[in-house]
């Protein structure tokens, strides 16, 4: 906490991004973002597909390096600390990939045990107890002997979540946790996120474009579009935002400041080939 | 105009190749840095030795036997014209130990194990399994690539030795068993003509170099694959093709250095 105060001047901010800029080659994906993720809360970063939400999470995790700007996690600049420090920091960040990314050659039990075996020298008995506790938390203790190919999409995500909390992280990043799930699974995952956040005090960062779910569980929402933050606040604030863009997104209107058409030459020119 | 275009394309390809070679070299150094950790954790290495080496035994053994038998037959028909059928032993042994063992083993290994390494690592990348490891503060170069690399480098010389040994047995079976070459002459001539240093060690060095190159190509192609279905399939093809070129090219260079008196 002291460290945090000194470096960021804001006691309750766990992740702080300032002037963040990132491009794949010449294609700018993130173009000057300032985002503060409060400690112990559920914060959602919301935006249409392809705006760079996954990219943003990878920047927070230090997998990719921004062209400009900084990301501080718990007071440490992710992109200037050395590799050992970065690895130490990553042990305290869980990340739930969109695909789950379970290790396909390991059983459910071994997937959850993986980070424990890699980073601790605990006796087998203790690992066994810890893994079962994590699996119990996501409701899949009974599935410990299954292989990833035998799981449904929702179960795979829950196993991945159990693995992400294996080392008791201070925060978890969820990449589109609701996308492509049936309504019951969505409900289960929403409840899990809230539960882990409130009972274990884990800071949650969700990246999503599912307005309903996100509005229901987030304490704070950032809206991003075309590389910039276009609005932020509580779900309640955003619902009554004066911004056309935010209203279009929150209400799911097909056309508005975000055009229905991908940028293209004039329709007539295109049809009649006046080039 | 066409010439300029052609030159441009050539230049671009050359630059692309050099850039890739540079990346592959940095990658190799990073993998080598992970090897001490792997030696401390032999469980991972043993598993990979099994899947890369032991599972290649069948194809190596069968191919070695077939090549040895054909070699025995072919050499016998030539040698017998010169009344030199007793030299069958050394001729077969030298061809296998110096040349055919290392080269064919490396080519077969690349098809059997190298392509599998590329596909496995490429798919792990495409399904975010490598990224998820990184985010768990586990270095995939050390945890995933280094044990596979080491297993390949260790396996290939052993496989080549087995290939040559089985090949000699195959030639013995055909030459002595079927064609009536004297068994004593077959072995004693072989013992007299095959030199431990000049032939056996050089053959081993060759296959060690081939093993390193073949495995390096395989793991790099996997790690560098475009993380899509198509990308992984292309990478797998590239592994087999590039390994073949590299092995055949290197074989000439190494042979010239070792046996050519250059
Ligand atoms: N490795 C990459 N190389 C080049 N472009 C990429 C890469 N990853 C993603 N992109 C591009 O960056 C944009 C943002 O991607 P992403 O962060 O995955 O968006 P989101 O998660 O919001 O859907 C996309 O348009 C995508 O095509
Ligand atoms: Mg995404």
Distance from CA of B129 to the nearest CA of A (A): 5
Per-residue pLDDT tens for B150-168? 999 999 999 999 999 999 9
Residue A274, pLDDT score: 59
Q: Does A64 touch chain B (CB under 8 A)?
A: no
Average pLDDT of span A55-69:
92
Q: What is the 3-state secondary structure (H, E, C) of chain B?
A: CHHHHHHHHHHHHHHHHHHHHHHHHHHHHHHHHHHHHHHHCHHHHHHHHHHHHHHHHHHHHHHHHHHHHHHHHHHHHHHHHCCCHHHHHHHHHHHHHHHHHHHHHHHHHHHHHHHHHHHHHHHHHHCCHHHHHHHCCCCHHHHHHHHHHHHHHHHHHHHHHHHHHHHHHHHHHHHHHHCCCCHHHHHHHHHHHCCHHHHHHHHHHHHHHHHHHHHHHHHHHHHHCCCCHHHHHHHHHHHHHHHHHHHHHHHHHHHHHHHCCC
Q: Does A93 touch chain B (CB under 8 A)?
A: yes
CB within 6 Å of ligand 1 — which residues? A 24, 29, 49-55
Residue B262, pLDDT score: 54
Instruction: Tell the residue nearest (CA) to atom 8 of ligand 1.
Output: A55
Q: How confident is the model at residue A3 (pLDDT cuts 50, 70, 90)?
A: very low
Q: Which B positions 106-135 lie with beta carbon below 8 A of chain A?
A: 127-129, 131-132, 134-135
- CB nearest to A97's CB, from B128, B137, B143: B128
Cβ atoms of residues B219 and B148 within 8 Å: yes
Residue A9, pLDDT score: 46
- Nearest Cα to Cα of residue A119 among A80, A92, A158, A97: A92
Per-residue pLDDT tens for A64-118? 999 999 999 998 999 999 989 999 999 999 999 988 899 999 999 999 999 999 9
pTM, 2 dp: 0.87
Determine the residue of A30, A49, A51, A263 to mutate for testing ligand 1's pocket, defined as the one with the most ligand atoms within 8 A of the Cβ atom.
A51
- According to DSSP, the residues that pair with A31 across neighbouring strands are A21
Cβ atoms of residues A158 and A112 within 8 Å: no
Shortest-distance ligand to the CA of residue A26: 1
Average pLDDT of span A197-209:
90
- CB nearest to A115's CB, from B129, B134, B136: B136
Is the confidence at residue A153, as pLDDT, over 90?
A: no
pLDDT winner (highest mean) among A1-5, A113-117, B197-201: A113-117
Average pLDDT of span B34-62:
91
Q: How confident is the model at residue A8 (pLDDT cuts 50, 70, 90)?
A: very low
Is the confidence at residue A165, as pLDDT, over 80?
A: yes
Q: B131–A97: do the CB atoms touch at under 8 Å?
A: yes
Closest ligand 1 atom number to CA of residue A58: 17
Chain A neighbors of B134, CB-CB under 8 A? 61, 63, 90
Average pLDDT of span B76-103:
91
Q: How confident is the model at residue A15 (pLDDT cuts 50, 70, 90)?
A: very high
Residue A10, pLDDT score: 47
Per-residue pLDDT tens for A230-261? 888 888 887 777 777 777 777 776 766 666 67
Give every CB contact of residue A197 below 8 A, 6+ residues apart in sequence: A40, A41, A42, A203, A204
Instruction: Tell the residue nearest (CA) to atom 25 of ligand 1.
Output: A50
Is the confidence at residue B140, as pLDDT, over 90?
A: yes
Domain extent listing, chain B: 2-259
Q: How confident is the model at residue A59 (pLDDT cuts 50, 70, 90)?
A: very high
Is the confidence at residue B38, as pLDDT, over 90?
A: no
For testing the chain A interface, which of B137, B147, B227, B228 should be mutated: the one with the most A CBs within 10 Å?
A: B137
Q: A118–B132: do the CB atoms touch at under 8 Å?
A: no
Residue A259, pLDDT score: 67
For testing the chain A interface, which of B133, B136, B138, B232 should be mutated: the one with the most A CBs within 10 Å?
A: B136
Locate tokens 């050992």: which residue?
Answer: A84
Q: How high does pLDDT run on average in chain B?
A: 92
Chain B neighbors of A115, CB-CB under 8 A? 136, 138
Is the confidence at residue B66, as pLDDT, over 90?
A: yes
Higher pLDDT, A270 or B101: B101
Chain B neighbors of A161, CB-CB under 8 A? none
Chain B neighbors of A61, CB-CB under 8 A? 134-135
Average pLDDT of span A35-59:
91
Instruction: Tell the residue nearest (CA) to atom 7 of ligand 1.
Output: A24
Which two tokens mark A35? 């985002």
Share of chain A above pLDDT 90, in %: 48
Question: What does the buried/exposed string (b/e) look like for A249-270 if buried means 16 or more CB atoms within 10 Å of the residue's CB?
Answer: bbeeeeeeeeeeeeeeeeeeee
């Amino acid at each position: 906490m002291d460290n945090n105060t000194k470096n960021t001047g804001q006691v309750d901010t766990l992740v702080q991004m300032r002037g963040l800029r990132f491009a794949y080659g010449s294609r700018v994906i993130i173009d000057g973002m300032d985002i503060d993720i409060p400690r112990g809360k559920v914060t959602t970063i919301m935006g249409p597909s392809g705006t760079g939400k996954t990219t943003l999470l990878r920047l927070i995790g230090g997998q990719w390096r921004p062209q400009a700007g900084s990301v501080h996690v718990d007071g440490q600049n992710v992109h200037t600390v050395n590799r050992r420090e970065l690895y130490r920091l990553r042990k305290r960040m869980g990340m739930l990939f969109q695909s789950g990314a379970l290790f396909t050659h390991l059983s459910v039990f071994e997937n959850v045990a993986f980070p424990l075996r890699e980073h601790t020298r605990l006796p087998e008995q203790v690992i066994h107890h810890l893994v079962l506790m994590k699996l119990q938390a996501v409701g899949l203790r009974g599935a410990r002997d299954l292989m990833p190919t035998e799981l449904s999409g929702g179960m795979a995500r829950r196993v991945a979540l159990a693995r992400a909390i294996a080392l008791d992280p201070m925060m978890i990043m969820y990449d589109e946790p609701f996308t492509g799930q049936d309504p019951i699974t969505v409900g289960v995952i929403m409840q899990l996120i809230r539960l882990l956040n409130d009972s274990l005090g884990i800071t949650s960062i969700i990246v999503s474009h599912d307005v309903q779910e996100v509005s229901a569980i987030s304490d704070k929402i950032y809206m991003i579009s075309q590389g910039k933050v276009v609005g932020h606040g509580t779900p309640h604030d955003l619902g009554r935002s004066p911004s056309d863009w935010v209203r279009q997104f929150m209400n799911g209107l097909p056309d508005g400041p975000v055009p229905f058409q991908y940028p293209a030459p004039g329709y007539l020119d295109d049809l009649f080939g006046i080039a | 105009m066409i010439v300029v275009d052609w030159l441009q394309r050539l230049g671009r390809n050359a630059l692309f190749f050099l850039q890739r070679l540079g990346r592959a070299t940095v990658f190799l150094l990073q993998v080598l840095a992970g090897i001490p950790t792997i030696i401390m954790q032999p469980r991972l290495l043993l598993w990979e030795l099994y899947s890369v080496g032991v599972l290649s035994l069948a194809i190596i053994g069968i191919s070695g036997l077939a090549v040895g038998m054909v070699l025995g037959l072919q050499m016998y028909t030539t040698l017998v014209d010169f009344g030199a059928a007793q030299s069958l032993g050394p001729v077969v042994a030298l061809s296998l130990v110096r040349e055919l063992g290392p080269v064919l083993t490396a080519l077969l290994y690349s098809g059997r194990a190298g392509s599998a390494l590329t596909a496995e690592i490429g798919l792990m990348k495409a399904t975010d399994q490598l990224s998820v490891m990184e985010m768990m503060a586990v270095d995939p170069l050390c945890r995933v690539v280094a044990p596979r690399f080491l297993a390949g480098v260790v396996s290939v010389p052993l496989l080549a030795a087995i290939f040559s040994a089985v090949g000699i047995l195959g030639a013995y079976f055909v030459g002595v068993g079927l064609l009536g070459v004297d068994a004593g002459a077959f072995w004693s001539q072989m013992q007299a003509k095959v030199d431990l240093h000049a032939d056996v060690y050089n053959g081993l060095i060759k296959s060690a170099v081939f093993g390193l190159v073949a495995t390096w190509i395989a793991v790099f192609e996997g790690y560098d694959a475009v993380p899509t279905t198509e990308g992984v399939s292309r990478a797998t093809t590239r592994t087999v093709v590039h390994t073949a070129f590299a092995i055949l090219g290197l074989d000439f260079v190494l042979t010239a250095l070792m046996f050519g008196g250059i």
